[in-house]
């Protein structure tokens, strides 16, 4: 028996081949993105405005004009626990679909918490520790980001305090236990510990929370303690910068494969796994070395790119953050409780929003049942149960592969498999037992939250 006759399914890099710089796409764009504004003066914010929340090194990365940023040796050492991550050719999925397309996926589920989030949690904890910060606060929706920051803080000896969206706190006890195992303190949000939390609970004592509310709580606590800073797991430029290690590795792996992607798809919540995979490919595209279509996929229940407005809005519910120009559904928009908790943010990364406005990426929205059907199909062929979020990318990938089957085109598709579902299996239970529903987001609901834009 010869099996596949030597055809490769895995493209692995040696540790010594791991990239040592992150890539900043901004200097390569035809136009710079609009700056964040101070919520009071409506003037562009300066570094001093951010100093209570972030360490200087991250503020500098947020606005840097350098094309490449060196990854500190201490961060590379931690990355080596799981990086370089594998690139796979999905031969069994291709065969099951009967498509002539070649499908590849870059798998970030090999990290300590099962997603791409530690790629930025580790450098964020490192820079804070280096500047003498002793405590980080943050929010978490699905629990992935809180787990990643808890792990990173343990690595560099920082305390970690997490506000976990109430709905997820109640439904995902294992994420909370993971954060606690790494040494973090976890509060359900809204909580009685902050003004922002108490304000929500006064109006709605049974509130199941939202990412926007949890961000307000974590920001409020960090701003009140000079030893503490706040950490955000997506949306901001420095976060997308750190995630570009995904795309830089994937480019090297495509060289090993002797192939070039025609289509790159990824799911977008705040935009970090998508930006991280796609920006190095966008650099190659802008330089004329390849021409892949770059496609963001979002949930139909929280469609910031496809149905949101490109406008200045707050990053949180209480209006404590700077105003960010982004595709937004409105800062008090609360999406349906879909299972892809990591995709329920009201806004999109300002950098990615700008790149979308420039016409350099495409976007589509998908309903969750189609996504879970894709997730199950992937699990049964490739053996990995995808986190609910990247099932969106897989659904779009399968759509593309089936179009290739119709047309006979041999396209090369790359998809971001940014995490596994080992702690999200109740979502698969809901799908498999027929309890999952698709919901249309009514125009009226959207108009109401967009009407409240600052």
Ligand X SMILES: *Cc1c(COP(=O)(O)O)cnc(C)c1O
**Cβ at position 342, least distance to ligand X in Å:** 3
Task: Find the binder of ligand X among 102, 106, 117, 339 (CB under 6 A).
Answer: 117
Could you tell me the smallest distance in angstroms from the CB atom of residue 387 to ligand X? 4
**Residue with Cβ nearer ligand X (106 or 117):** 117
Contact of 402 with 386, CB cutoff 8 Å:
no
Q: Does 267 bind ligand X (CB under 6 A)?
A: yes
Handedness of CA 13, 17, 21, 26 (dihedral sign): negative
For residue 265, the minimal CB distance to ligand X (Å) is: 13
119 binds ligand X (CB under 6 A): no
For 123-184, where are the E strands, in sequence order? 135-140, 159-165
* Stretch binding ligand X (CB under 6 A), from 49-57, 60-68, 92-100, 382-390: 382-390
Q: Please list every residue from 138 through 167 that binds ligand X, using CB under 6 A.
A: 142, 144-145
- State which residue, 142 or 264, has the beta carbon closest to ligand X: 142
Q: Which is nearer to ligand X, 136 or 404 (CB)?
A: 136
- Rounded Cα distance between 224 and 239, Å, is 23
Q: How far is the CB of 409 from ligand X (least distance, A)?
A: 29
Minimal distance, residue 111 CB to ligand X, in Å: 10
Binding to ligand X by residue 389, rule CB under 6 A?
A: yes
Among residues 84, 146, 375, 419, which is the contact residue for ligand X, using CB under 6 A?
Answer: 419
Residue 85 or 272: which CB sits closer to ligand X? Answer: 272
Q: Which of residues 101 and 184 has its CB atom nearest to ligand X in the complex?
A: 184
With CB under 6 A as the contact rule, the residue among 99, 234, 237, 449 that binds ligand X is 234
DSSP state of 204: -
Candidates 151-159, 210-218, 266-274, 363-371; binding stretch for ligand X (CB under 6 A): 266-274
Say if residues 53 and 333 touch (Cβ distance below 8 Å).
no
Per CB under 6 A, does 310 bind ligand X? Answer: no
Q: Which of 77, 39, 343 is nearest to 219 (CA)?
A: 39
**Beta carbons within 10 angstroms of residue 25's beta carbon:** 24
**Neighbour count for residue 113 (Cβ, 10 Å):** 26
Q: Which of 368, 372, 369 is nearest to 425 (CA)?
A: 372
* Number of residues this chain uses to bind ligand X (CB under 6 A): 21
- Residue carrying structure tokens 């709605």: 204
Q: Which stretch binds ligand X (CB under 6 A): 86-94, 156-164, 270-278, 395-403?
A: 270-278
CB 85 within 8 A of CB 110: yes
Residue selected from 112, 188, 212, 269 as contacting ligand X according to rule CB under 6 A:
269
**C-alpha pair distances (Å), 275 with each of 61, 166, 323, 328:** 16, 28, 21, 17
Closest separation in Å from C-beta 26 to ligand X: 18
| CB of 288 vs ligand X, minimal distance in Å | 28
Q: Give residue for tokens 């236990």.
A: 177
268 binds ligand X (CB under 6 A): yes
**In degrees rounded to 5, what are phi and psi of residue 35?**
-75, 155
The answer to whether 399 and 90 have CB atoms below 8 angstroms apart is: no
Q: Mutual orientation of helices 350-357 and 272-286 as an angle, nearest 10°?
A: 40
In whole angstroms, how close is the CB of 35 to ligand X at the nearest point? 21
- Cβ at position 424, least distance to ligand X in Å: 9
CB of 100 to ligand X, least distance (A): 29
Q: Quick check: 287 and 281 in contact, CB under 8 A?
A: no
- Assign 393 to helix, strand or coil: helix
Which of residues 274 and 378 has its CB atom nearest to ligand X in the complex? 274
Shortest distance, position 450 Cβ to ligand X, whole Å:
21
One character per residue 330-369, x = contact with ligand X (rule: CB under 6 A): ------------xx--------------------------
CB atoms within 10 A of CB 234: 27
Element spanning 70, H or E? strand 68-70
Name 410's Cβ contacts closer than 8 Å, sequence gap at least 6.
100, 101, 102, 404
Q: Is 172 in the site for ligand X (CB under 6 A)?
A: no
Residues between 96 and 115 with contacts to ligand X, criterion CB under 6 A: 115
Phi-psi map region of 130: left, alpha, beta (phi>0 left; psi -120 to 50 alpha): alpha
Interacting residues toward ligand X by CB under 6 A: 115, 117, 142, 144-145, 234, 267-274, 342-343, 387, 389-390, 418-419
């Amino acid at each position: 028996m010869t099996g596949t006759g030597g055809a490769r399914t895995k493209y692995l890099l040696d540790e010594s081949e791991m990239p040592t710089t992150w890539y900043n796409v901004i200097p390569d764009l035809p136009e710079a993105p609009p700056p964040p504004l101070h919520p009071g003066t409506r003037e562009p914010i300066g570094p001093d405005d951010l100093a209570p929340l972030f360490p200087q090194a991250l503020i500098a990365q947020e606005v840097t004009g350098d094309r490449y940023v060196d990854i500190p040796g201490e961060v590379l050492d931690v990355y080596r626990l799981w990086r370089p991550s594998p690139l796979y050719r999905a031969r069994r999925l291709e065969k099951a679909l009967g498509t002539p397309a070649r499908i590849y996926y870059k798998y970030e589920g090999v990290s300590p918490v099962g997603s791409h989030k530690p790629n930025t949690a580790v450098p964020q904890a490192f820079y804070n520790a280096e500047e003498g910060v002793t405590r980080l606060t943050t929010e978490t929706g699905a629990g992935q980001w809180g787990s990643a920051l808890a792990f990173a803080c343990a690595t560099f000896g920082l305390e970690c305090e997490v506000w976990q969206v109430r709905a997820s706190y109640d439904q995902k006890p294992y994420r909370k236990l993971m954060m606690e195992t790494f040494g973090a303190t976890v509060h359900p949000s809204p909580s009685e510990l902050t003004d922002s939390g108490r304000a929500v609970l006064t109006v709605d004592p049974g509130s199941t929370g939202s990412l926007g509310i949890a961000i307000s709580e974590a920001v409020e606590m960090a701003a009140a303690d000079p030893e503490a800073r706040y950490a955000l797991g997506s949306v901001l430029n420095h976060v997308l910068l750190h995630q570009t290690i995904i795309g830089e590795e994937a480019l090297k792996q495509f060289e090993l494969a002797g192939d070039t992607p025609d289509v790159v798809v990824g799911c977008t919540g705040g935009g970090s796994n998508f930006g991280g995979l796609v920006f190095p490919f966008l650099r190659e595209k802008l330089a004329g070395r390849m021409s892949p279509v770059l496609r963001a996929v979002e949930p139909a229940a929280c469609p910031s790119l496809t149905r949101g407005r490109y406008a200045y809005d707050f990053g949180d519910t209480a209006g404590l953050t700077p105003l960010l120009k982004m595709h937004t559904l409105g800062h008090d928009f609360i999406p349906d409780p879909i299972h892809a908790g990591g995709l329920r943010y009201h806004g999109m990364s300002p950098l990615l929003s700008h790149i979308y406005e420039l016409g350099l990426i495409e976007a589509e929205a998908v309903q969750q049942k189609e996504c879970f059907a894709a997730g199950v199909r992937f699990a049964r062929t490739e053996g990995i149960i995808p986190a609910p979020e990247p099932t969106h990318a897989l659904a779009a990938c399968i759509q593309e592969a089936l179009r290739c089957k119709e047309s006979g085109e041999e396209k090369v598709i790359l998809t971001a498999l940014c995490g596994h579902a080992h702690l999200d299996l109740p979502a698969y239970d809901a799908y498999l037992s027929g309890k999952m529903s698709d919901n249309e987001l009514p125009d009226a609901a959207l108009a109401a939250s967009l009407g409240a834009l600052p």
